[in-house]
Amino acid sequence: MASHLLRVTASRLVARRLLSTSQPVRVAGPAMTDDPNVNVYFREDMINPLPLKPRLWCTTPELKALKAKEAGNWKNLTEEDMKQLYDAYFGMRISDMERPTDNWKSYVGVLFYIAGFTLFLHLFIHVYINPPYVSTVTDQEWINASIKKMIQQHQGDVTGYSSKWDYENNTWKK
């Protein structure tokens, strides 16, 4: 019973994740993702580079030390310190904002899925649901007899079979 419940719950979670249309929110980097002080609703992009909500809820002792160091001479700051300070103020760098997303891969995948499902549905309907072709369409003797009858009745004198039949010589026109 427990394994069945676990299997059903796992399949629902996988299905919910596969059918989800939401995009994950991008954060600054791997060092900032585990921080409980990070505002998870913080979102910035090229249209809104300076959001209204702060990036961090409160500052950590390490960040306070960096801010004190920032208040002094900036030549004393290392490149890593500058990156940490920038990541405290902003969520992404400009290069991260301008980087294209991989959403087109999802769109192409969904397109192929729909095309494949449509092809499968068409083949299934054609093979198992539609009735087979009747003999009036597939039997060559029947087709020849119906063409002969059309010629005898002068059906389609303008554009049909009768327009291509020579009645004086009883042959097809050349």
Specify the pLDDT at position 3: 62
Across 9-34, average pLDDT:
51
Specify the pLDDT at position 32: 46
- pTM higher than 0.85: no
pLDDT digits (tens, 9 = 90+) for 90-135: 777 888 888 888 999 999 999 999 999 999 999 999 999 998 888 8
Q: Which is more confidently placed, 145 or 26?
A: 145
How many Cβ atoms sit within 10 Å of the Cβ of residue 27? 20
Specify the pLDDT at position 47: 79
Specify the pLDDT at position 30: 41
Break the chain into its structural domains and give their ranges. Answer: 35-99, 103-130, 134-174
pLDDT digits (tens, 9 = 90+) for 23-79: 444 444 444 455 666 666 677 777 777 766 666 666 778 888 888 888 888 888 999
Specify the pLDDT at position 9: 60
Specify the pLDDT at position 28: 46
Residue 163, Cβ density class (10 Å: 0-12 exposed, 13-18 middle, ≥19 buried) = exposed
The strand pairing partners of 56, in sequence order, are 38
In degrees rounded to 5, what are phi and psi of residue 137?
-100, -35
How many Cβ atoms sit within 10 Å of the Cβ of residue 154? 13
Specify the pLDDT at position 118: 98
Specify the pLDDT at position 146: 93
> Which tokens belong to 173?
């026109």
Specify the pLDDT at position 17: 54
The strand pairing partners of 166, in sequence order, are 171
